[in-house]
Amino acid sequence: MKYALDKSGQVIEAGEGSPTQGHCPQCGAPVILRRRNNGKRGVTYFWRHQDGLNLDCPARFSAARPAGADDRPEGDPAEGT
């Protein structure tokens, strides 16, 4: 996931300097900040559910879900609403 919620419920984007823990905007379960090295293209940050928590959450990765699906919570300031 690219977005999570902090302790106060504010939307936070995954990135360098983001808190290491947050909450899923879909189910409220704890998520942790992860980092993936992309070789010459740099680094990608993302939020991931803790192992075994809320396996039915629609925001969890699924091979059946199209790549690039929007995971921003409703009313996210990045949407302009």
pLDDT at 67 over 50: no
Tell the burial category of 48 from Cβ atoms under 10 Å away from its Cβ (0-12, 13-18, 19+): middle
For 66, the token pair is: 């199209």
pLDDT of residue 73 exceeding 60, the answer is no
Beta bridge partners of 23: 5, 30
Tens digits of residue pLDDT in 24-66: 999 999 999 999 998 888 999 999 988 777 777 877 765 455 5
What pLDDT is recorded for position 81? 44
Q: What is the pLDDT of residues 1-33, one digit of tens each?
A: 899 999 999 999 999 999 999 999 999 999 999
Identify the CA nearest to 60 among candidates 69, 37, 10.
69
Domain ranges of the chain: 3-59
